[in-house]
Amino acid sequence: MLRKIKIDWAGLARIQPLEHPFPPPERIFPGIDEIDPQRFPDFLDEIGLVGMGGGGFPASQKLRAAAGAHTLVVNGIECEPGLTIDQSVLLHESLWVAAGAVAAAKAVGATRMVLAVKKDSTLLAELALRYGEFEIVAFSDRYPAGAEKLILEKLEGRRPPPGVRPYQLGYLVQNAVSLRAIGRALIDGIPVVERPLTLAMPSAGFHRNIIVPVGIEIRQVLEAYRLPYDPCIHFLAASGLMMGHEADPETAVEKTTLALLVLPRDAAWREERPCIRCGACNTACPLGLHPYALVERIRKGRTGGDPFRMQMTECFLCGVCSAVCPSDIPLVQQLERGKQCL
């Protein structure tokens, strides 16, 4: 299981300036000074924007649903261990992020813009210099603080009721990299053909934030940095330890690939043992769900009934329950399977 690996990221996971190991894309259309808010969702479809925080949901649909929102939230909390790409983009590409955020806020009619980031005094001071128009709100860096539901809990002062989406409370929450992509298209006429990501191999002391073409083979990215990846002793985690998955180096970087981590294979897999009813998964779940009870039902095929379905809808597959389980039960993988029954 990816989630059981313990890696000491201290001193390694830095917020470096972005590197461009491949040639940058050509301008495809002229930049746009002013865009009609009515046409903005169509523009997002034209540039091919999907949620680049990992969700991959079409950005235009999210924006249409949020019409009339009072607040735009730039989600730059990024609490997946070892990932710093959102923070690099916020710091080093603020022109594009701010332009994308202002345009998205205007399109839905939001008058308040919140920048949600980790509590880190140096980072906060730097961001204050770059995002004067934004209200900066600091969040815990404890995973999964960047989940939309937990962001709204802090902004609203109470957790949103089950099943309620941010737009129903007047919020449009957009990941920092998605907003960067909007700004890049507006200012430079370049659609979503690039992916900023964290590339790391902790055992070699390697950690970079880079921009690569969408669709490039992962193998080419590893080769560009001469990383000594050996499939017999390493595995590749795409998008992070907690919410990511194992990737094949012959596959392509996608718009939703947040990171490529080269990790020791022998630390990755452990045999599942019986549940000892310790309750650690219940205590750890940030939404107060009962993961093992849900998994028991999924394994027995008992996936009917409103309470079950409501809990499964709420679960956002953060993987915290799996990470704390002393019996190495792959809870989140089972929950993922359970979601397919909804």
Q: Is 253 in the site for ligand SF4 (CB under 6 A)?
A: no
Q: Is 143 in the site for ligand SF4 (CB under 6 A)?
A: no
- The stretch near ligand SF4 (CB under 6 A) out of 10-18, 25-33, 230-238, 279-287 is 279-287
Q: Is 278 in the site for ligand SF4 (CB under 6 A)?
A: yes
Give the residue with the Cβ less far from ligand SF4, 123 or 335. 335
Q: Which member of 325, 330, 334, 338 binds ligand SF4 (CB under 6 A)?
A: 325
Burial class (CB in 10 A: 0-12, 13-18, 19+), 268: middle
Q: Is 317 in the site for ligand SF4 (CB under 6 A)?
A: yes
Q: What is the C-alpha separation between 242 and 145, in angstroms, rounded?
A: 13
Q: Is 289 in the site for ligand SF4 (CB under 6 A)?
A: yes
In the beta sheet, which residues pair with residue 174? 74
Q: Is 312 in the site for ligand SF4 (CB under 6 A)?
A: no
Site for ligand SF4 in 256-275 (CB under 6 A): 275
Least spacing, CB of residue 280 vs ligand SF4, in Å: 4
Give the residue with the Cβ less far from ligand SF4, 98 or 294. 294
Give the residue with the Cβ less far from ligand SF4, 233 or 276. 276
- The stretch near ligand SF4 (CB under 6 A) out of 100-108, 155-163, 216-224, 277-285 is 277-285
Q: Is 150 in the site for ligand SF4 (CB under 6 A)?
A: no
Q: Which member of 142, 299, 326, 341 binds ligand SF4 (CB under 6 A)?
A: 326
User: Residue 126 has which token pair?
Assistant: 């730097």
What is the 8-class DSSP label of residue 316?
-
User: CB-hemisphere CA count at 13 Å for 197?
Assistant: 28
Q: Is 279 in the site for ligand SF4 (CB under 6 A)?
A: yes
Q: Count H helices, E strands: the chain? A: 13, 9
Give the residue with the Cβ less far from ligand SF4, 138 or 317. 317
Q: Given its phi and psi angles, is residue 124 left (phi above 0), alpha (psi -120 to 50 degrees) or beta?
A: alpha
32-58 in b/e burial notation, b at 16+ Cβ within 10 A?
A: eeebebeebbebbeebebbbbbbeeeb
- CB-based contacts of 50: which residues, under 8 Å, 6+ apart? 56, 57, 58, 59, 192, 255, 256
The answer to whether 35 touches 190, Cβ cutoff 8 Å, is no
- The stretch near ligand SF4 (CB under 6 A) out of 89-97, 150-158, 227-235, 276-284 is 276-284
